[in-house]
Amino acid sequence: MADVLGLGITHFPMLAGADTHMANLLKTTLKDPDIPADRKDPRNWSVMAQREWGDDQGTTAAGEHRARLLAGLSRCREALDEFRPDVVVVWGDDQYENFREEVIPSFCVLAYDDTEVEAFAVLEKLRVPNAWGLPTDTSFRMRGLPNFAKQLTADVLTSGVDIAYSYEQRKGVHFPHAFANTQIFFDYENVGREFPYPIVPIAVNCYGEHVIARHGGIAKFADIQAGERLDPPGPSPLRCYELGRAVARSVAAGNKRVALVASSSWSHAFLNDKHWHLRPDSESDRRLYDALVAGDHDTWRKVTTREIIDSGQHEMLNWFCLLGATQELGLELEWSDFVQTEILNSNKVFAVYR
């Protein structure tokens, strides 16, 4: 008989890196000459930001942040093992990885066979040493479940939500890190190599107007102020809700035990233009977190694409998919945690729904 578990986690790339490098995105931002000097001066930052920055540019704070994140991840992993899923469906963003100028699907099921995945491809690009001191070419196997993925796609399409599907990964590009890191972080001790469950990724175009314009990454203010060639938006938050509901209906009609996972951090400093990329929009994250804890779907369903982009919450579209599924199935929030940071790029949230 079908059964469903809902989880929310982070795929924060810097968690796979050493503490000395966890604040690197902020360090890069501080080199942007078009951000006002007084904004970049730590003496003008919030009390929390100053405390985290400390006298070692965030290395001590990184250790504390890692401990909080690992606690959240192990809580979610325990729920997963207790539930014993047949398959783990993951909503994650494709950050100019599989999908580029040729095509940007709003949603795409990756109906892959087992795939060998490079563990540290993104860290390599960022020139960050991995937290385990392992060789840079370390890899692990991500098990797929293509027939389940095809059935899921068919059900979602039949129920009226358009979704693309893919049978093969793009050549010459690392596996999308939202999904790779999900397996690594669920199996942190083993860097993903002992993870026992197949994964079916659903790529969500979270980056929308910035996916090609900024290659899903950081932009300099000189380029932003000169006028960017923005892309069309991604799917609206409400459409992500509808996708989540359609996926939930498909799963409920089947006979598998399925874990549905939203994989992403919340507001990202490097996307939060209004705060000069110096910190995430914690006020907006808190508002949505309070609504999540209260089971207040109305607040979530009223969020607009503009609000998401203005708060640097692009990747939260993955969480809108999860919340849609929990609403459809009447799943209850069993546990959650909000991990705030001012200097380590993004706030992170963990959640367990049953």
Which positions touch Fe ion (CB under 5 A)? 93, 178
Minimum separation from the CB atom of position 182 to Fe ion (A): 10
Minimum separation from the CB atom of position 315 to Fe ion (A): 5
Q: Which amino acid is at 211?
A: V
Q: Find the helix or strand (DSSP H, E) in which 5 lies.
A: strand 3-9
Whether 87 contacts 200, CB under 8 Å:
yes
| CA gap 43, 10 in Å, rounded | 30
Structure tokens at 115: 């795939």
Minimum CB distance to Fe ion smaller for 126 or for 154: 126
Give start and end residues of each alpha helix (H) in 44-200.
47-53, 59-83, 121-126, 146-158, 177-186
Give CA angle at 303 (13, 275), nearest 5°.
55
Minimum separation from the CB atom of position 97 to Fe ion (A): 10
Select the residue whose beta carbon is closest to Fe ion and give its number. 93
Q: Which amino acid is at 3?
A: D
Structure tokens at 308: 């998401």
- Which phi and psi (to 5°) does residue 102 adopt? -65, -40
Minimum CB distance to Fe ion smaller for 305 or for 345: 345
β-bridge pairing 139-142 and 3-9: unpaired
Closest CA to 112 of 157, 143, 155: 143
Whether 107 contacts 203, CB under 8 Å:
yes
Whether 258 contacts 10, CB under 8 Å:
no
Minimum separation from the CB atom of position 135 to Fe ion (A): 24
Minimum CB distance to Fe ion smaller for 57 or for 95: 95
Minimum separation from the CB atom of position 318 to Fe ion (A): 9
Minimum CB distance to Fe ion smaller for 11 or for 75: 11
Minimum CB distance to Fe ion smaller for 149 or for 180: 180
Minimum CB distance to Fe ion smaller for 146 or for 217: 217
Minimum separation from the CB atom of position 155 to Fe ion (A): 26
Minimum separation from the CB atom of position 191 to Fe ion (A): 19
Minimum CB distance to Fe ion smaller for 11 or for 249: 11
